[in-house]
Amino acid sequence: MKRMILASSNQNKLREFKEILAPLGWEVVSQHDLGIDVDPDETGTTFEENSAIKARAVYNIAHLPTVADDSGLEVDALGGEPGVYSARYGGTRDDKVHNRIVLKKLEGVPDDKRTARFIAAITYIDESGREYSFTGKFEGRIGYSERGKNGFGYDPIFMVGDISSAEMTPEEKNSQSHRGKALRALSEYLKSI
């Protein structure tokens, strides 16, 4: 089995990467599993730029196949906020606070104006240092309260039809989500090499 490092310590992301890449013969380990303690500043203005920054930081230490993602929520009625600041929206890394901020900002906004999407950009760096980028989008709208216990981040307020992303099973979410789409694009590339 080939090994790939995930440039993240987020256990939820690690689980999603493992679920999709393990069937292809890849063992995905987190940077912390290998004792790599690096947390680069995400100074990019796009998800793609931030993903590449994270992947390069880990690759430059390990020189092994490395994958990183940067993802977030764009809400149309908020001019694309929180965007690349999704993980630190409102100056905090607390998901509950992030969700409350979005819901508060959307008070009085009608359903048809609450459109939103999750975006994921994945950077894969192969063993020789070549970089590849893959993106995925997950369209929906922002609900009016938190719903569901599955998922993480903005999942409890992100509605797809009549259910929140946090009410989906992991299989349902992986089949539709932004990260699932970007991971499938990565997996198609990995199958081709």
- Catalytic positions are 70
Structure tokens at 46: 């796009």
How crowded is the C-beta side of 109, counted as CA atoms within 13 Å?
A: 19
Burial class (CB in 10 A: 0-12, 13-18, 19+), 42: middle
SS (H, E, C) the chain: CEEEEECCCCHHHHHHHHHHHHHHCEEEEEHHHHCCCCCCCCCCCCHHHHHHHHHHHHHHHHCCCEEEEEEEEEEHHHCCCEHHHHHHHHHCCCHHHHHHHHHHHCCCCCHHHCEEEEEEEEEEECCCCCEEEEEEEEEEEECCCCCCCCCCCCHHHEEECCEEHHHCCHHHHHHHCHHHHHHHHHHHHHHHC
